[in-house]
A and B are shown apart, each in its own frame.
Chain A
């Protein structure tokens, strides 16, 4: 069961550089072979200034950028063994380009424990990660809801 007193707590910031090759890798893993994600040349040929961000690329910023995420979630008192992903939402505030260095801060914004049958319980947590770029400009908000059994 997670510790309710942690609601509102933010974790230390992490940084991640936006890499063209990682955007390409993610798009190809998803099976999207749109050339705009493949190279700067192809993106420019299609009218973009550089390889654009794939819509779900922020998931890489979290997993590859916040190397302490698992420890941070454990510190909230949840059991990671049975974690399910409930919801994911992105708010794109400004363009993010290859070469940008993003700083992310994760905050536990909401949480509740639901009692189930036979004394079982599940924790439902919402974390928000706010990203700013190297100029301090807010560029992206990511919210995710996770369910820990």
Chain B
């Protein structure tokens, strides 16, 4: 990646080992207001996420459910805190379950790989968001490019 952006370094390649845990992120319980706010910010105005009457008409839903993308956003916040937003090269998730009002989401992750691409140090990991009962809502993977200590000297 060509870049003229001097990104602050949160983490060095040498400091990460396969099997390391990413500091977990516990979010406040999900509120209706947050879903309304997220709808406005993201532009996803599907009434399934804001209108309780609409959700009740859809079989298997029964009330408001969160945007899956909000939960991916929680995982994005964890990764932003860990490697910084400019280090990310890839970030993908699968949506596995519906998140409802008052659910408390915890995001976790683990480093699965360390490798080099064209001299650039990269880490790959798996991430997950689950509720207070351990039900997984989102699972996925990411790749980030990290600077080496020697480059910074």
Residues of chain A having any CB pair with chain B under 8 Å: 22, 25-26, 28-32, 34, 36, 46-49, 52-56, 59-60, 62-64, 81-95, 97, 143
Contact = CB atoms under 8 A, between A and B. Distances in A.
Contacts of A55: 73, 76-77, 79-80, 85, 88, 91
Given A59-B69, A84-B95, A95-B5, A31 B86 contact: no
Given A31-B77, A56-B69, A86-B94, A25 B89 contact: no
A54 B68 contact: no
A49 B91 contact: no
Contacts of B94: 86-87
Main secondary structure of the interface of B (DSSP, over half): mixed
Contacts of B58: 81-82
Given A32-B80, A46-B8, A48-B5, A54 B89 contact: no
A134 B76 CA distance: 26
Interface in B113-131: none
Main secondary structure of the interface of A (DSSP, over half): mixed
Interface string B5-32: 1111000000000000000000110000
State which size class the interface on B falls in: 35 or more
B19 to A, nearest CB: 23
B101 interface: no
Closest 9 CB pairs of A and B: A63-B43, A89-B92, A47-B8, A55-B76, A29-B41, A30-B73, A64-B43, A32-B77, A52-B85
A32 B38 CA distance: 12
B93 A88 contact: yes
B76 A54 contact: yes
Given A31-B27, A52-B85, A84-B95, A47 B77 contact: no
Given A30-B38, A32-B80, A82-B58, 14 more contacts: A22-B41, A29-B70, A34-B77, A34-B80, A48-B7, A52-B85, A54-B76, A54-B80, A56-B72, A59-B44, A64-B43, A87-B92, A87-B95, A95-B5
Contacts of B79: 55
Contacts of A36: 85
Contacts of B84: 52
B91 A89 contact: yes
A30 to B, nearest CB: 4
Contact of B73 (A53, A56, A63, A143): A56
Nearest to B96: A86
Contacts of B2: 94
B37 to A, nearest CB: 4
B34 interface: yes
Contacts of A81: 58
A92 B43 contact: no
